[in-house]
Structure 1
């Protein structure tokens, strides 16, 4: 399938690379289908990737694997919230968090409180709001990278 993207132009993706959000993403509920794109330069060390909508070119979000920010990130999510993902095995779980990258990169942050959970086996995804764990909506990335 060909899609037109915000940062990569027109590209070809396989249907099995589509990530489907039954309820959309918070604030963008009408958009259901996305794919993950990587900057070819960053593939060697992918910190950021892009969650690109397949039906709306201008809708692309920078996302990060939260374990790259907080090594022991372990969100507690009620089983009932995970039901839309279908049968979920540990090895099929992909976690992503949305990043905000302002002009001053030192102020870059990620939303650790509302992760995206993807079932890689079937391409189904949800975004949840964590009630427990004390995770921040604006968790500064640079603080954690400096510690490494």
Structure 2
């Protein structure tokens, strides 16, 4: 299926790559279907990807694997929130964090409090507020990402 995207123009998307958020995501509850996009011209998977709405081309959120920026990330989420996603285990669990990239890129942060939780098998997802009190909404990550990329420039 052809979809219009914010950063990649029109792309042909295999329907098996669509992730459904039955409740939508925070601030965009009316949009339920998304996919994850990244620049495939790079030889390695990029640090930052895009959670792209299928229904709204202008809605694409930068996201990152939390273990890149916080290796001990262990969100505590109510089991009730995860039930609609189907049986989640460590083989099908996909966790992503929203990245905020301000004009001053050195102030880049991620939201540890509201991860996207996706069951890769069922392609169902939700955004949850975690119970961990010590997780920040604006966790600064620029230096961490620079170190993980071997001092290369961050690609956004």
User: Per the shorter chain, which TM-score range?
Assistant: over 0.9
Inter-partner Cα distance in structure 2 for 1:133 and 1:3: 39
The gaps in structure 1 that reach 5 residues or longer are none
The gaps in structure 2 that reach 5 residues or longer are 149-156
Inter-partner Cα distance in structure 1 for 2:42 and 2:111: 21
Inter-partner Cα distance in structure 1 for 2:136 and 2:71: 15
Displacement of 1:89:
2.0
Query: Does the 8 Å CA contact 2:75/2:131 hold for their aligned counterparts?
Result: no
* Partner in structure 1 of residue 78 of structure 2: 78
Indicate yes or no: 2:9 matched with 1:9: yes
* Partner in structure 2 of residue 104 of structure 1: 104
Change (3 A) 1:51 1:146: closer
* Partner in structure 2 of residue 38 of structure 1: 38
Superposed CA offset, 1:8-33 (max 9, x none): 00001111100100000011000000
Inter-partner Cα distance in structure 2 for 1:33 and 1:147: 33
Displacement of 1:117:
0.3
Say which structure is richer in helix: 1
Query: Does the 8 Å CA contact 1:75/1:133 hold for their aligned counterparts?
Result: no
* Partner in structure 1 of residue 141 of structure 2: 141
Displacement of 1:43:
5.3
* Partner in structure 1 of residue 65 of structure 2: 65
Question: Superposition RMSD on alpha carbons, in Å?
Answer: 1.4
The alignment partner of 1:144 has SS state of helix
Over 6 Å off, 4+ runs: none
Displacement of 1:144:
2.8
The alignment partner of 1:44 has SS state of coil
The alignment partner of 2:91 has SS state of helix
Inter-partner Cα distance in structure 1 for 2:145 and 2:11: 32
Change (3 A) 1:42 1:102: farther
**Number of matched pairs:** 148
